[in-house]
Structure 1
């Protein structure tokens, strides 16, 4: 998970960007922080998705094959 300090810095840079603009160094920092944030969100989403099991009304496992294969590759049966 990304730290609260980094989230605060992302927001600070976004505000500054709208109000007065960013220096090249700040633009680079903003890009790196945003990428780290996105990587973290994607990883969390993948982990959450890998814990999903889809079951129909009759109790039959109807989890998509692609998701089953992903779980098997990660050893998450």
Structure 2
């Protein structure tokens, strides 16, 4: 892991096209700006993990059948 220290207004480059800008710091909160190509998806990690889990679950036909069976058992 690379650890960098930056002050508000300073920037970090990721490759040639992604720029992270430290906008401000307030206590233990850091506000970041991201400049990247429109086709580059940028997500908070918790959203990324939730989408990944949802896609994995949706691709499991057995789990989907079990959920469907449980749904109809309740009715």
- TM value normalised by structure 1: 0.34
Greater share of helix: 1
Greater share of strand: 2
- TM value normalised by structure 2: 0.34
